[in-house]
């Protein structure tokens, strides 16, 4: 499955003579990133077989302080909204996209909520949670950003960039690669540092992707199920396939928020199960809560080949006898505590009509169960990769 030298992104040779090219020098590494790399022992996955189940860290990673490097937004279609940091053909983000409102002391993006795109807060607390979540997944995947075997990368697309951490890491590790990120919310990045090959594009993934066919070597789609409309998934997969070059790869990561127990002790009477049932009931009005379990099937149906899927248990606290899994559970505990509130507040109180008191009681009970190692609670995390046929 290794992509041969003919797929490496060198400039094409002209007839009658060679074309000279030079490797573009890396920008200066910021001091904060040097400290992160020295402590985190990040291991790139290039040319490794896809096996995230074997990708658990030997030692835990530190919490990475987010420093998103570049906030340059491509000029695409009239429905998009942009900002810029000195790049040509960009526009300022409009007030319509920046506008927020307060709901039970949490800040939401009005554009997304009014259009039923995304029901999660965009405040600082949620940004912190997303960074914690990124660090947990980094531990789970052994620091690997890319799962399928890849040659040299020229263009990469990140669907749902969030804080921009995944896109930044890929852009930094591949300075000659153009990395583009898409997200409907511009609220979670921190543009204090700069990497010139990273572009973040504010756009709606529920609309057709505005890129030429065969444009990308790799497309990453991570934790976007909460924002993809329930009837959009087949079109979304076809869009990704179209935008990939022949032989290019797509990798997808999604979490099934149906609480599980490794020893079967979580029953319908537990608050975690009630939280899961209500979340599924609320979100199914606009989204597809079963999407994480179906992405492999949808990829095959869209025309992807070499499709592989793994289900990884994501422990909510430290309960495993395996030291690495125990460490992941400990690191994930705070993320889960925040997640049970932030993901559910608007859907439960507005879509299901729960009172704020009922909501707080249920979330408090669910949080208490999530940190109980005797229950051995976890969510199922699905990782799937697929390849576009070469012809």
Which of 37-41, 106-110, 189-193 shows the lowest mean pLDDT across its residues? 37-41
- CB count within 10 Å of CB 13 equals 10
Q: Find, among 189, 199, 64, the residue nearest to 137 by Cα.
A: 64
Residues of 228-247 as b/e, b for ≥16 C-beta within 10 angstroms? bbeebbebbbbbbbbbbbeb
Q: Find, among 312, 279, 282, 281, the residue nearest to 384 by Cα.
A: 312
Q: What is the pLDDT of residue 193?
A: 56
Do residues 82 and 73 make contact, with C-beta atoms less than 8 angstroms apart?
A: yes
pLDDT in tens, 173-228: 999 999 999 999 988 887 775 589 999 989 999 999 999 999 999 999 999 999 99
pLDDT in tens, 233-245: 999 999 999 999 9
């Amino acid at each position: 499955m290794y992509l041969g030298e003919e797929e490496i992104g060198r400039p094409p040779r002209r007839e009658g003579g060679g074309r000279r090219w030079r490797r573009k020098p890396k920008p200066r590494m910021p001091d904060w990133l040097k400290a992160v790399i020295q402590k985190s022992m990040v291991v790139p996955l290039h040319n490794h077989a896809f096996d995230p189940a074997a990708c658990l860290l030997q030692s835990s990673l530190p919490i990475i302080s987010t420093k998103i490097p570049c906030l340059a937004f491509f000029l695409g279609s009239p429905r998009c909204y942009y900002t810029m940091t000195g790049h040509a053909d960009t526009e300022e983000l409009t007030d319509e996209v920046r506008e927020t409102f307060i709901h039970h002391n949490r800040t939401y993006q009005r554009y997304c909520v009014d259009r039923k795109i995304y029901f999660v807060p965009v405040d600082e607390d949620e940004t912190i949670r997303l960074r914690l979540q990124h660090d947990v997944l980094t531990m789970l995947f052994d620091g690997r950003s890319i799962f399928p075997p890849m040659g040299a990368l020229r263009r990469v697309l990140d669907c749902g960039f969030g804080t921009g951490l995944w896109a930044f890491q890929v852009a930094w590790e591949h300075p000659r690669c153009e990395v583009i990120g898409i997200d409907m919310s511009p609220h979670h990045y921190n543009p204090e540092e700069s990497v010139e090959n990273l572009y973040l594009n504010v756009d709606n993934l529920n609309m057709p992707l505005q890129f030429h066919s065969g444009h990308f070597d790799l497309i990453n789609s991570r934790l976007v199920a909460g924002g993809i409309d329930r009837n959009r998934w087949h079109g979304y997969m076809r869009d990704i396939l179209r935008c990939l070059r022949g032989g290019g790869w797509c990798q997808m990561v999604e979490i099934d928020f149906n609480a599980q127990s490794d020893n079967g002790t979580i029953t319908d009477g537990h608050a975690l199960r009630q939280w899961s049932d209500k979340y599924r009931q609320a979100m199914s009005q606009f989204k597809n809560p079963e999407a994480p379990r179906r992405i492999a099937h949808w990829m095959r149906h869209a025309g992807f080949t070499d499709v592989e899927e793994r289900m990884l248990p994501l422990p909510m606290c430290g309960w495993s006898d395996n030291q690495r899994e125990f460490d992941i559970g400990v690191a994930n505990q705070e993320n889960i505590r925040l997640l049970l509130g932030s993901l559910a507040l608007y859907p439960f109180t507005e879509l299901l009509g729960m009172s704020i008191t009922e909501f707080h009681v249920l979330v408090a009970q669910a949080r208490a169960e999530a940190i109980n190692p005797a229950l051995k609670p976890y969510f199922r995390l699905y990782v799937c990769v697929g390849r576009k046929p070469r012809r």
